[in-house]
Amino acid sequence: MQKTGQDSSRTQHLVTTYLSDVKRRVDACIFDFLPTAHKHPDVHQLYQMMLDYPRRAAKGLRPALCMLICEAFGGDPERAVNTAASLELLQNWLLIHDDIEDGSELRRGEPCLHQKHGIPMAINVGDALHCKMWELLHRNTEVLGHELAFRILSEFIQLSNQVVEGQHIELSWVNDNRWNLDEEDYLTMCVQKTAWYTCITPCRVGAIIGGASKTEIDGFVELGKEIGIAFQIQDDVLNLIGDVGRYGKEIAGDISEGKRTLVLIHLINTCTAAEARQVIDIMARPRDEKSEAEVERVLQLMQKYKSITYAQQRSKALLQEAAEQFSHNFAHLPDERAKQLFLSLIHFFVEREY
């Protein structure tokens, strides 16, 4: 059934309201937990730098998935706040390191941390937030008891292994100057680098806290893969055609950074051999050796060969598969409101403009 404009507007309002509420609760947990002052001036500076990324505007999608799935299984979402906040800390330290590895310039509308304070300092801040993530997860013993807290820790260990392996795959492509990639290569990287920490683990830990069975918890692996890939593809698209004021990152930054995205892979495998050589020549050069005209040339070719449109269609197809899978596999869940909100939220993953 086609949604009317009024229905779509109402759904978006429900999602944004829910995200704002979760963000408020998670932020309260994070800022109550993170240290803010120290008698030693250098440590005090570290504490202030640790607050930088958490204070920047963010959507809070991962904490929202965690708390919503907990609620969908009949659990109390307040019991999931520490875990949701840990997911947000994970996101922040990963972004600090990711921005350094990619040579990014903007994050959430502001200069990246390494642009402000230098690479060594930024790496250390990322490490500090990483440590705090484990400390906050340890505090789950006070809320969930030792058994559940240990299960959540185990999920974060699995997640951490997946993310660094996925990141290594992508960094290896850059290091080895590899361009002979196909869609399957991209999807494999996406599942490990993005899907596990964006969807799979947030849903799994929410389900664990909500009292789900092992079969139900495991059901979020395949579901989360589809949502996570769809999310990453949309992120890649927004990087090319989004509004910098809303998106918060440099537009066409993926071209400047030489990122292997689904859009780029489709272009290289669709355009002429001469155009492919030109694109690879531009993409393979460091950021400071690319001109604005060359970045624009790659973008024009992406539009010429409808590579952006292809990626958008692929993202929407994955989303539809995920929505149908969730509706079928979890029809038995008691909380209809939470289920409907989950479906609206995953649609937001792909329909968002920032």
What is the SS3 assignment for 266-301? HHHCCCCHHHHHHHHHHHHCCHHHCCHHHHHHHHHH
Chain mean pLDDT for the chain: 93
Task: State the DSSP code for 184.
Answer: H
Give per-residue pLDDT as tens, 44-63.
999 999 999 999 988 899 99
Identify the residue with better confidence: 35 or 335: 35
For residue 5, pLDDT over 80 is answered with: no
pLDDT class for 321, splitting at 50, 70, 90?
very high
Residue 229, pLDDT score:
96
Helix (H) or strand (E) holding 110: strand 110-111
Identify the residue with better confidence: 130 or 353: 130
Q: What is the mean pLDDT of residues 67-86?
A: 97
Give per-residue pLDDT as tens, 105-155.
889 889 999 999 999 999 999 999 999 999 999 999 999 999 999 999 999
Q: What is the mean pLDDT of residues 318-339?
A: 92
Report the sign of the C-alpha dihedral through residues 231, 109, 91, 118, in that order: positive
Which whole-number Å values give the CA distances from 34 to 77, 132, 135, in the listed order?
A: 21, 8, 10
Residue 74, pLDDT score:
94
Give the CATH superfamily of 9-351: Farnesyl Diphosphate Synthase (1.10.600.10)
Domain residue extents for the chain: 9-351
For residue 11, pLDDT over 90 is answered with: no
Residue 123, pLDDT score:
98
For residue 350, pLDDT over 90 is answered with: no
Asked if 49 and 113 count as a contact pair (C-beta separation under 8 A), the reply is yes
**pTM of the model as a whole:** 0.92
For residue 251, pLDDT over 80 is answered with: no
Q: Among all chains, which residue has been given the structure tokens 């404009």? A: 5
Q: What is the mean pLDDT of residues 71-88?
A: 97
For residue 213, pLDDT over 90 is answered with: yes
Could you give phi then psi for residue 105, rounded to 5 degrees? -110, -40
Q: What is the mean pLDDT of residues 151-174?
A: 96
CA 11 to chain centre: 22
Instruction: Give the percent of the chain with pLDDT over 70.
Output: 95
Residue 1, pLDDT score:
43
pLDDT class for 32, splitting at 50, 70, 90?
very high
pLDDT class for 12, splitting at 50, 70, 90?
confident
